[in-house]
Amino acid sequence: MIFTRFARKKGAVSTLAMAMALATGGAFAVTAVEAPALAQKKSERPNYSKGFIGAYKPLEELAAAEAPDYAALKAGFPTIVAAAETADDRYAAGSFIYANAAKQRDQATALQGMEMMLQSGKVPEENIGQFNFVAGQLAYAAKDYAKARPYFQASADAGYTENDPLIFVAESYFAEDQAQQGLTYLSDLINAKVAAGETVDEAWLKRGLAQAYNNNLNAEANRYSSWYVSQYPGDDSWGDAVAILLNTGGYQNPEILDLLRLGQRVGVLRDSKLYLEYIDAADYRRLPAEVVSVIDEGYANGMLDETDPFVTDTRRQAAERVAADKADLDGLMADANKAGASINTVLAAGDALLGLGRPAEAEPFYAKALEMPNANTAMVMTRLGIAQFDQGKLAEAEATFNKVEGAREPIANLWAIYSTQQAAGGM
336-358: per-residue pLDDT in tens?
Answer: 999 999 999 999 999 999 999 99
At residue 32 the predicted structure's pLDDT band, cuts being 50, 70 and 90, is very low
pLDDT higher at 120 or 8 = 120
Percent share of the chain, pLDDT over 90: 85
At residue 163 the predicted structure's pLDDT band, cuts being 50, 70 and 90, is confident
Q: Which of 285, 309, 264 is nearest to 415 (CA)?
A: 264
CA distance 103 to 98: 9
Tell me the average pLDDT of the chain. Answer: 89
* Alpha carbons within 13 A on the beta-carbon side of 241: 33
CA distance 163 to 151: 13
Angle between helices 309-337 and 343-355 (to 10 degrees): 130
CA distance 303 to 322: 23
pLDDT of residue 45: 84
Res. 168: pLDDT tops 70: yes
Q: Which of 417, 31, 19 is nearest to 222 (CA)?
A: 417
CA distance 119 to 390: 63
Res. 100: pLDDT tops 70: yes
Region 202-221: mean pLDDT is 95
CA distance 254 to 176: 40
Q: Which of 303, 362, 376 is nearest to 332 (CA)?
A: 362
pLDDT of residue 44: 67
DSSP string, 281-316: HHTTTT-HHHHHHHHHHHHHTTSS-TT-HHHHHHHH
